[in-house]
Amino acid sequence: MMDVRLYQINLDRDENGIAFESLDTMQKWQKSPNIDSAIYDKVFEGTIDANDLEAVYELFNLDQPDGYSGRSMSVSDIVEICRSDEVKPGFYYCDSIGFKPVEFDSAKTQEAINQKITVVMVEPGKVARTAEIGTSLEDLQKAVGGMIETYYPFEEEVCIVCNDEGKLIGMPPCRAIYGEDKKVMDIICGPFFICDCRTENFASLSQEQLKRYTEQFRNPEQFFKIGSEIAAVPYEPRQTGLER
């Protein structure tokens, strides 16, 4: 186990175009041996299950940890080893081959704004799916077709984000939400997505949550009134030949 921070170049601040370049090329193009720490964002801080830098590289490419807000690890990224029994603490540049220790001023970096999050997208008449959506208000509203509303029917810190006026404007029924007695507690109309809500900003679900909620909301439902109660029956949507 080791405590690490990971920094990546923010492409909007990369005036010299050095992202994804080797350390030698970066130093040549900047005409300086010093790394411009101010163009980097901190995209991760936490404890990971790794013993060396190569394991760090593999982890951030194949099995990215919860809370990671960056792209797949690549050349020009910088790993800060804060605590490790195997690797000397310090900053390491991900080079074309291996890692090189470098001088780096983390105080000049910025916190990354997570531009996209991975959610479970649920739409009327369609199978639930994993989707990547933007985090701007415009992107969130586009995902649900209007003003957003949050709904918290789960015990863990995840929420449903749906259309605030889905029922009022006649959006088609999408999925039922069930109480502990397995009876329909509410019906969400229109598309919605499920995401992490542990902080003030929406965030990605874990891989386990993505799998679990995709399965829970997998099939669309048809709704019937039986006496004074509403019943929901899952069904397999018709294949049009265009779906994949």
CA distance 35 to 212: 43
pLDDT of residue 34: 86
Put simply, whether the predicted model's pTM sits higher than 0.75 gets the answer no
Token couple for 12: 């909007």
> Could you list the mean pLDDT of each consecutive 10-residue stretch along the chain, which spans 244 residues?
92 84 86 87 90 92 76 90 93 94 92 77 96 85 94 94 94 92 89 89 88 95 81 76 42
Query: Pick from 41, 88, 90: which is nearest to 69 by CA?
Result: 41
Domain segments of the chain: what residues?
Answer: 2-111, 116-234
CB 235 within 8 A of CB 221: yes
pLDDT of residue 142: 92
CA distance 6 to 46: 9
- Count Cα neighbours of 159 within 13 Å in the Cβ-side half-sphere: 14
Contact partners, residue 117, CB within 8 Å, separation at least 6: 132, 133, 135, 195, 196, 202, 203, 204
CB 133 within 8 A of CB 140: yes
Residue 206 has what DSSP assignment? P
Token couple for 156: 């863990």
pLDDT of residue 67: 67
Residue 63 CB neighbours (<10 A): 10
Write phi, then psi, for 25 (nearest 5 degrees). Answer: -65, -40
Calculate ∠ Cα 131-203-63, nearest 5°: 70
Q: How far apart are the first and last CA of the chain?
A: 40
CA distance 178 to 36: 53
